[in-house]
Amino acid sequence: MLAYVIRRVFQSLIVLLVVGLVAFSMFTFVGDPIDNMLGQERTDADIARLRAQLGLDQPFPVQYLRFLENAIQGNFGVSYRQGRPVAEIIAERAPATLELAFVSGLFAITFGIGLGVFTALRRNGWAANTIMTLSLVGVSLPTFLIGIVLIYIFSVELNWLPSFGRGEVVDLGWWTTGFLTASGLKALILPSITLGLYQMTLIMRLVRTEMLEVLRQDYIRFARARGLKDRAVHFRHALKNTLVPVITVTGLQLGSIIAFAIITETVFQWPGVGLLFINAIQFVDIPVMAAYLMLISVMFVMINLIVDLLYFAIDPRLRVDRTAAKG
Amino acid sequence: MTDPVLSVRNLTVEIPTRRGVLRPVDGVSYDIAAGEILGVVGESGAGKSMTGNAVIGLLDPPARITGGEIHLLGERIDQLKGEALRKIRGKKIGMIFQDPLTSLNPLLKVGEQLTETILAHLPVSQSDAEARALAALEEVGIPAATQRLNSYPHEFSGGMRQRVVIALALCAEPSLVIADEPTTALDVSVQAQIIALLKRLCRERGTAVMLVTHDMGVIAEAADRVAVMYAGRLAELAPVQQVVQAPQHPYTDGLMGSTPLASLGQKRLRQIPGSMPRLTALPDGCAFHPRCQRATDRCRSNPGPTLAACNGRAACWHPLTDEDRAAREATA
């Protein structure tokens, strides 16, 4: 078990190194930052001085090692556009994105599993069929369209919820939260649904399929034959077995919630790292782009690690097989 | 004789399909007394398992009971639904499935599965239920039962798992146990142990057993009476000695002739020509007549033979007699 965890952590580190290489390559291959930083009226001397100042005159491997060294210390350099440390800018923006991702994830998992179980148990009911049909819409509509439609209905026509921004936030010093004010909570609703809807329908369809599969198993028949209550059969026996495969996909989906936040943040002008990234692309602000890439990959890797560990918590067969395989 | 534990009368199960209504179980009647083991034999698709599932109300839709009655301890149970049905499952009827590898939930400890079953049926506390679970495991001969309560199913061998399944089926002390091919998935060396265990537990408690199997060896070993099924109908119903040594229905005779039983001392195995008709294409009259050497015009016309219409033991117009068997022995 411990050996397995260590091996997974090691693999994660390799993934991060590779992503770091890609992120770093952007500096060299995506345009020349000097062009953007200095205006039209520049001299060759200016260029050379800035190049030396930023360390861009060093050979590629040296630059990469320096990049890694700095990145590990949380130093991603200075934003070309804002002239401030990237780490500071991201730390400022991260709470907005993380809160949005958290609420969307919660929404996706709660409703995904709930509706998935419901549609599996009431397989032929009209309500389940309606939900299944609607879920096709959820899977096929692009995120930005869902966002715009929601804004049109709930902000423009009904005027119930704000169409952009985070509302009032409370500054806790190291974290700004929208959870503590009414307007902050209201502002979270539409973006969270927009961001989580695709994941929710995906989880729901997956839970339904898995649940129907599990309900056909012999141990479910045996549980029924033993006279257990439907609730125990469905939730204690069936749902737990359903969750094993569902966790993998759900974990990956949570990662993509953070990554796809870019689109939702753009539609709702949500002041998170996604919006920061979009703006950074427009200005070829490579330090910000590289840091964002690293941040997202760290989150993906961490979520995957947690998912792998969750297997152990849920499926006892893995615990034994691993130790047995170790001898 | 006291009232039977289970009494099945003219049970008919139908499955509506696009090509017409199938009858996997057609007018089957039998009783099982307390402490008695009734063996139900037949080929795959003969309706053996379907009969067991119908009794415990676990038919997979669209299959459903369309005729007949099932009485358990004098109470009619074939029309029960929902909560009333749940209460008799496990409590009054225990069921053992074929494959112990798949009939236990892989994610729950054996002890948890036992206690939840006990708590579902008996008004006992959690700790009492755990004590009973321990006793149940010990009773089915699982060594170090205290530790094994905390084991997961995959930590048991196949035979041990089937013991756990038996403990689960019996833990609420049902009056009837339906064992659906309980040894088919097990190693031959373990089969006899499991059958002996099942037999002992049921004798001790006076539990009625419906032992569904296609293995005549198991039947000869365990059953008191035998019901032979063919194409959804009862072909023969008689005490095991008679069925094994002097079968009357030509199908039973064929079945015995094709079974290697040391006790019969036969030299060569015989085979029954042809195969069982599909339910979509049942012949008129006796379903066995296309494969039967004794078939006459009467066998080919409706209505076909039933136990009640014939001698009450074999559903056949021309049952084998002792002379028939003696004549065959002479020519062999």
pLDDT at residue B235 tops 80: yes
Cα of B37 to nearest chain A Cα, Å: 20
Task: Find which of A124, A219, A242 to mutate to test the B interface (most B CBs within 10 Å of its CB).
Answer: A219
CB pair distance less than 8 Å for A222 and B97: yes
Please report residues of A whose CB lies closer than 8 A to that of B102. 217-219
Integer distance in angstroms from the first to the last C-alpha of chain B? 42
Which sign does the torsion angle of CA A311, A312, A315, A320 carry?
positive
Is the distance from CB of A298 to CB of A17 less than 8 angstroms?
no
Is the distance from CB of A77 to CB of A287 less than 8 angstroms?
yes
More confident residue, A225 or B1: A225
- pLDDT at residue A115, as a whole number: 92
pLDDT at residue A188 tops 70: yes
Beta carbons within 8 Å of A158's beta carbon, 6+ residues apart: none
What is the overall mean pLDDT for chain B?
A: 85
Give the H or E element holding residue B210. strand B208-212
- pLDDT at residue B262, as a whole number: 59
Cα of B241 to nearest chain A Cα, Å: 32
Residue type, A296: I
Separation CA B306–CA B303 (nearest Å): 9
A142-162 pLDDT, tens per residue?
888 888 888 888 888 888 888
B107 φ, ψ (degrees, to nearest 5): -100, -5
pLDDT at residue A121 tops 80: yes
- pLDDT at residue A320, as a whole number: 56
Confidence of residue B2 (pLDDT cuts 50, 70, 90): low
Residues of A engaging B, defined by a Cβ cutoff of 8 Å? 217-219, 221-230, 232, 236-237, 240-241, 244, 314-317, 320
CB pair distance less than 8 Å for B103 and A221: yes
Whole-angstrom CA distances from B297 to A186, B22, B233, B273, B289 are 84, 25, 20, 19, 9
B168-192 pLDDT, tens per residue?
888 888 889 999 888 888 888 888 8
pLDDT at residue A323 tops 50: no
Separation CA A201–CA A135 (nearest Å): 5
Q: A213-227, A241-255, B308-322: which has the highest mean pLDDT? A: A213-227
CB pair distance less than 8 Å for B58 and A225: yes
Cα of B169 to nearest chain A Cα, Å: 7
Nearest CB among A219, A227, A240 relative to B102 is that of: A219
pLDDT at residue B283 tops 50: yes
What is the residue extent of each domain of chain B?
Answer: 6-92+174-262+269-331
Separation CA A55–CA A45 (nearest Å): 15
Number of other residues whose CB lies within 10 A of the CB of residue A127 = 11
Whole-angstrom CA distances from A87 to A70, A128, A280, A282, A289 are 11, 47, 14, 19, 12
Cα of A224 to nearest chain B Cα, Å: 8
The ipTM value here is 0.84
B46-102 pLDDT, tens per residue?
888 889 888 888 888 888 888 888 988 888 888 888 888 888 888 889 999 888 888
Mean pLDDT, rounded, for A225-233: 86
Report the topology of domain A94-287: MetI-like fold (1.10.3720)
Cα of A244 to nearest chain B Cα, Å: 10
Which sign does the torsion angle of CA B263, B265, B268, B271 carry?
negative
Beta-bridged to residue B93, according to DSSP, are B89, B176
- pLDDT at residue B261, as a whole number: 66
| Residue for token pair 């989906």 | A253
Instruction: Check CB contact of B119 with chain A, cutoff 8 Å.
Output: no
CB pair distance less than 8 Å for A227 and B88: yes
Please report residues of B whose CB lies closer than 8 A to that of A320. 152, 154-155
Separation CA A58–CA A51 (nearest Å): 9
pLDDT at residue B156 tops 60: yes
Integer distance in angstroms from the first to the last C-alpha of chain A? 12
Mean pLDDT, rounded, for A16-40: 75
Please report residues of B whose CB lies closer than 8 A to that of A244. 107
A256-268 pLDDT, tens per residue?
888 778 888 888 8
Report the topology of domain B6-92+174-262+269-331: Rossmann fold (3.40.50)
Instruction: Report helix angle A86-121 to A273-282, nearest 10.
Output: 120
CB pair distance less than 8 Å for B102 and A218: yes
Q: Taking phi first (over 0 means left), then psi (-120 to 50 degrees means alpha), and beta for anything else, what does residue B267 get?
A: alpha
pLDDT at residue B16 tops 50: yes
Which sign does the torsion angle of CA B281, B284, B288, B292 carry?
negative
Instruction: Check CB contact of B270 with chain A, cutoff 8 Å.
Output: no
